[in-house]
Amino acid sequence: MKDLVLNRLSGYQRSFSGFTAGQKVVAVLGTGALLLAGVMVFRWVSQPDYAPLFSNLSSSDASAVIDQLDTQGVKYKITNGGDTVMVPKNDVYTTRIKLSGEGLPSGGDGGYSLLDQQDLSTSQFKEQTDFKRAMEGELAKTIEAMDGVQSAVVHLALPAKQVFADKQDPPTASVLVSTRLGSTLSPEQVQSVVHLVAASIDGMDPEKVTVADSTGKLLSTSDSIGGAVASSRDQYVTNFQDEKAAQVQALLDRVLGPGNSTVQVTADLNFDKTTTELRKYTPADPNGLTLSTSKNSEDYTGPAGTAAASGVVGPDGQMGTTTTGGTAGSSYKKASETSDNALNTETQQIESAPGGINSLHIGVALDRTAAANNDPAAIEKMITAALGINTKRGDTVFVQPLPFDRTVEKAAAKDTKTEAAAAAKADRMNMFRNISIAVLVLLGLLAAWIRGRRKAKQRKEATTYVVEQLKNDAARREDRAIENPATALLSLEASEEQNVREELIALVENQPEDVAALLRGWLVER
């Protein structure tokens, strides 16, 4: 076996020595490339697939988990800024169960787990402190669950309860938020944090919650609620205008083609919430049936011998009175009549939702060249009908053909053409390179095949020549054997001849080039 290996190596060495300089470079580079590819494939195959073990870990929990993984000898990776630990996919569940048995992750940032440590000997001060810490930890975990928030710290100021409500100080809270790289909190998210904290603490006013980021910027203000409402209104108006502009733009692109028109929409929306109450009375009986009737009549006739007291009412008239007699032939009449008819009452309340349109104004600019064959008045009527423009409400539509500036578009088209040409050139160069590499590889394989055929031919020629020489020698020896009466010596020589023949054949197969060179030397000497 050792001799076979040495013979193989010697054969390879002699073959490599027979290569030209170019063939040697190609052989070395090819062998190196194959070895590198084999190493990369082996590493890729042996590299395990990683999966998250725990995510959103606190610093203390991440440190404890990593220490435990080092103790158990489990491979791991730390990603997502240090709050996610990944382990090989096949070890996720077993590792998670083992760490859970060790109490990891423990939620080291507090939370309601702090209340589990209390017992009957806990003082009132420690109980209140643990409760405050638990609330702070739970609120911090809840805020960290929001998109874009990396970590959060909550501080609560909970005054002691007072007997009288007017003596009670209000609770306050402060929140420090650290966002992820490239993320910022929107006003809506800030308001969510404010109301989340305020709703979690009994008696807390949202205005008593302060939110700041890690750079020290104050995110919440006293008028943040009004600002959030105004921001939502502005966003609603912007979305409404964009929607109407998109409708008009789609219509114009269909008529004039893309890029030949531009649309601007301005909307005046009413965000007032109004309620209108209407009350309508109708007769219950069409025939006018009366439900009830009352009549009063009073009649006084004839002279009266009565006296009537007259004077000033009050303290000034208490000292004396004046008597006046009635006149003869006086008469007094009074009549009153009341009728109640049946009526139906209909009450209707109409509540108008915010967001109604006060007025809508649309401005359209058309490319003069593209709109040469189109009537602007017709386009204006088309837009008016499509959006339901109401001139009585104050809506306006203005369409004007204008020359468009195409400088930017031409520059962009030129850059695009240049980039496309560069990409096509790069693709061609890449194709030529691949073809060249393939041709070189094929040429190398063809050269190796031709060399192998040449060696096989040389081996065959050398073997044939040696066999013929051996046959000639055998014939001569047979002639001499006929002349020699010693048959025993003939048998011995035949045996030796067979051994020599086998050794020569083996020598030709293992070292064809050396045998061929030796034979060529013999022929030259002859």
Q: Please state the pTM of the whole predicted model.
A: 0.40
Cα–Cα distance for residue pair 29/32, rounded to 1 Å: 5
Are 109 and 141 spatial neighbours (Cβ–Cβ below 8 Å)? yes
Q: What are phi and psi of 127, to 5 degrees?
A: -65, -45
- Cα–Cα distance measured from residue 93 to residue 74, given in angstroms and rounded to the nearest whole number: 13
CA dihedral 50, 52, 54, 60 (to 10 degrees): 50
Using alpha carbons, select from 509, 505, 510, 435 the residue that is nearest to residue 468: 505
CA dist 26 and 457 (Å) reads 25
The pLDDT value given to residue 482: 58
Beta strand segments in 306-453, E: 307-310, 322-325, 331-341, 343-352, 356-367, 396-402
Q: What is the pLDDT of residue 312?
A: 52
Give the model's pLDDT for residue 382: 92
Return the pLDDT at 35: 80
The Cα 224–Cα 227 span in angstroms is: 5
Task: Please provide the distance, in angstroms rounded to a whole number, between the alpha carbons at the two ends of the chain.
Answer: 39
The neighbour count for residue 231, using CB atoms within 10 Å, is 15
For residues 79 and 112, the answer to whether their CB atoms sit within 8 Å is no
Render pLDDT for 275-320 as a digit per residue (tens, 0 to 9): 888 887 777 666 656 667 788 888 877 665 444 444 555 555 444 4
- What lies within 8 Å, CB to CB, of 109 at 6+ separation is 58, 60, 137, 140, 141
**CA–CA distance, 111 with 139 (Å, rounded to integer):** 8
pLDDT per 10-residue tile (average), the chain, 526 residues: 66 69 75 78 74 77 84 85 82 84 66 63 77 87 86 89 84 90 84 90 90 87 54 81 92 90 92 79 66 78 54 50 51 78 75 81 91 89 91 92 86 87 87 82 81 74 69 67 53 64 72 70 59
Q: The tokens 């002859």 sit on which residue?
A: 526
| Residue ranges with strand state E in 331-470 | 331-341, 343-352, 356-367, 396-402
In whole angstroms, give the CA distance from residue 515 to residue 517.
Answer: 5
Nearest to 178 by CA among 146, 209, 201, 156: 146
For 71-84, give one letter per residue: b (16+ CB within 10 A) or e: eeebebeeeeeebb
Q: Given this model, what pLDDT does residue 309 score?
A: 46
